[in-house]
Amino acid sequence: MAKDKDLLASLSDASTESEFFSPIPAGYKKGKPRYCFVVGTVMSGLGKGIFSSCLAKLMQDKGLKVAPIKLEGYLNVDSGTLNPFRHGEVFVLDDGMECDMDLGTYERMLDQDLSKANFATSGQIFNSVLHKERHGDYLGRDVQMIPHVTGEVKLKLRELAMSSDADIVFVEIGGTVGDLENAYYIEAMRELAYEEGPNSCCFMALTYILEPKTLGEQKSKAAQLGIKQLMQLGTQPDIIACRASSPVTEKIRQKISVYSNVPLDRVISLEDSASIYMIPAVIAEAGLDFKVARLLKIEERIDLGHERKASAKWCDFTDKIDAAKREVDIGITGKYTSVRDSYASIINALEHAGIALGAHVSIKWVETTGLTDANTADKLADVNGIIVPGGFGMRGAEGKIACVRYAREKELPYLGLCFGFQMAVIEFARNVCGLAKANSTEIEPNCTEPVIGVLPEQKKIEGLGGNMRLGGRDVELKSKTIAWELFDKAKSVRMRFRHRYEVDPRYIQQLEEAGMVFSGKASNQPIMQILELPNHPFFMGTQAHPCLTSRPLRPQPMFVALVAAAMQRRCPNEEIPGCVEVVQKVCAQSS
């Protein structure tokens, strides 16, 4: 024990006399936190975040504190500038951090609000190292990938462990083992395991088993080679999860086991599932959660009573997935529809709402780039409700406006998110208020009726110039409105934002006199954040992205209301309660 303390002390020594260097946060207790590392082989997109979050949820259900973190290899400081076509949606945390969509998976599965401490990129790591070098923190040493860059990674993990008081930190490394930019992350994991000592870390590899249709059998060679790359980097996996379209055969699992030195009972099949919310049960059935507890020697921290209650609650939720008796079709009308990951949070929020209402929500993807008033009716003829999601730039904007007009005039349930809120204002201004040239300065910088723009008032209030409003904000709710009813008659509600443009206050009175109700606004500011049309089955828009805060056991009220209204439209002769009543019932059950 004394040797361990001496080693820990020497690791934090930044002098030129020692080769041990690894910054340690003040007060860090070696041995208290454990670490689970999740890496991928063969290809990206296997679902490392889903696997990691599901396993983390099972450990959380046992009464353990868990803290996830995603490590990305790209040099961007955050995900804010990434194109959805390349990297899926940008997920925004409450503190304003723009990050990878996997953080949304962790928030939903763990029902936790995460922060910038749960996300890191190579850009962040290198920035921090260079900042310290410029300030002389390395005491004249030549700054190198090892130990300084790897040390910065380990410092971030240990700081997260301390700030969250976690029993287990789940570390997901984006991409694959073979990616050049991931080499120093994997080296940092190896070093951390060495420094923390035996039973401190568990290495898990997610791999893919090929099954070419022309061969009619599963092939493991690509998986074997990917695992070999990991082992060549000095890391021995403890657990291997084999992703495949169908259950992985015993023969393939045996091959993987022999090739990787991993016991057969820790090589598990993780085939495709109808819902990600079924995966915790698959992992638990393989006993992986208890295997991890034994590997980390934390069995004594498990609370079986807590686990029974949490498991029963989750099973009640998943039982509803297969029990859904109704069908409802929702159209998502956007310009990134060719990449489904662009709308991952919306898809999940619709699934949460559908499960709560006993309905299976089918999504129809509608590309808005070529839509006009003339062809919108054909494109939306077979949907029961629509969502106009967020987006940036002019492409597809007029198509979205055409969708808004159709929904308003044909009483089609409508939910506008961020850009969809702005398009609803523009459509209403043009076709109800008579402002024929109404537009957004984002789309038409010199428009004569800029009902949407970047406000001078916002620049002064925010102190951020033209930068986006990011993260969680409190929204004041107007009493006696649908939004007020949906959020249980609260004075305000917390929502997350990611936008630059607002409703110009000069047009608010004119819009309201024509019948539009602004039921939510920024606290003490003339910034409108929720709108609704009272004489419509359901027509609501918000500058926020409410999908970001939807949870499996706590579906977001706006989405529940939309799906309920769509169900009523699909089955007008059935006695389905109104959207407000449905939301109140669902919220009561969730609490």
| Torsions phi, psi for 228 (to 5 deg) | -60, -40
* 396 alpha-carbon distance from chain centroid: 25
- Considering the domain boundaries, does residue 167 fall inside one? yes
Q: For residues 120 and 52, give the distance between their C-alpha atoms in angstroms, rounded to a whole number.
A: 16
For residues 340 and 458, state if they share a domain: yes
- Considering the domain boundaries, does residue 95 fall inside one? yes
For residues 197 and 273, state if they share a domain: yes
Q: What does the pLDDT look like over 405-456, one tens digit per residue?
A: 999 999 999 999 999 999 999 999 999 999 999 999 989 999 999 999 986 6
Output the pLDDT for position 464: 44
Q: 303-330 b/e with 16+ CB inside 10 Å = b?
A: eeeebeebbeebeeebebbeeeebebbb
For residues 101 and 216, state if they share a domain: yes
Q: Which two tokens stand for residue 50?
A: 């889903």
For residues 310 and 355, state if they share a domain: no
Angle of CA points 464, 469, 474, to nearest 5° = 120
For residues 205 and 62, state if they share a domain: yes
- Considering the domain boundaries, does residue 244 fall inside one? yes
For residues 235 and 374, state if they share a domain: no
Q: For residues 110 and 552, give the distance between their C-alpha atoms in angstroms, rounded to a whole number.
A: 10
The tally of domains found in the chain comes to: 2
For residues 96 and 223, state if they share a domain: yes
Q: For residues 25 and 4, give the distance between their C-alpha atoms in angstroms, rounded to a whole number.
A: 16
- Considering the domain boundaries, does residue 584 fall inside one? yes
Number of neighbours of residue 32 by Cβ within 10 angstroms: 12
Q: For residues 96 and 91, give the distance between their C-alpha atoms in angstroms, rounded to a whole number.
A: 10
Q: Provide the phi-psi class of 306: left if phi over 0, else alpha when psi is between -120 and 50, else beta.
A: alpha
Output the pLDDT for position 11: 62
- Considering the domain boundaries, does residue 119 fall inside one? yes
Q: What does the pLDDT look like over 125-149, one tens digit per residue?
A: 999 999 999 999 888 888 999 999 9
- Considering the domain boundaries, does residue 569 fall inside one? yes
Q: For residues 379 and 364, give the distance between their C-alpha atoms in angstroms, rounded to a whole number.
A: 10
For residues 290 and 260, state if they share a domain: yes
Domain at 234, CATH number: 3.40.50.300
For residues 529 and 580, state if they share a domain: yes
Q: What are the helix (H) ranges across 296-375?
A: 304-323, 344-357
Q: For residues 490 and 477, give the distance between their C-alpha atoms in angstroms, rounded to a whole number.
A: 7
Burial of 513 (0-12, 13-18, 19+ CB in 10 A): exposed
Domain boundary among 283, 315, 347: 315
Domain at 439, CATH number: 3.40.50.880
- Considering the domain boundaries, does residue 17 fall inside one? no
Output the pLDDT for position 98: 94
For residues 270 and 339, state if they share a domain: no
For residues 280 and 346, state if they share a domain: no
For residues 440 and 499, state if they share a domain: yes
SS3 318: helix
Question: By the 8 A CB rule, do 338 and 369 touch?
Answer: no
Domain boundary among 315, 349, 375: 315
* Structural domain for 266, as ranges: 23-315
Q: At what angle do helices 221-232 and 250-260 cross, to 10 degrees?
A: 20
Output the pLDDT for position 274: 86
Q: Which two tokens stand for residue 498?
A: 């990611």
Output the pLDDT for position 411: 95
Which residue stretches of the chain have pLDDT < 50? 462-466
Q: For residues 509 and 302, give the distance between their C-alpha atoms in angstroms, rounded to a whole number.
A: 58
Q: Which two tokens stand for residue 397?
A: 């904007």
Sheet holding 385-388, edge to edge: 359-367, 326-334, 385-388, 414-417, 539-542, 528-532, 517-522, 469-477, 492-499
DSSP string, 417-453: ETHHHHHHHHHHHHHTS--TTEEETTT-TT-SEEEEE
Output the pLDDT for position 410: 95
Domain boundary among 270, 293, 315: 315
Closest CA to 475 of 415, 425, 546: 546
- Considering the domain boundaries, does residue 546 fall inside one? yes
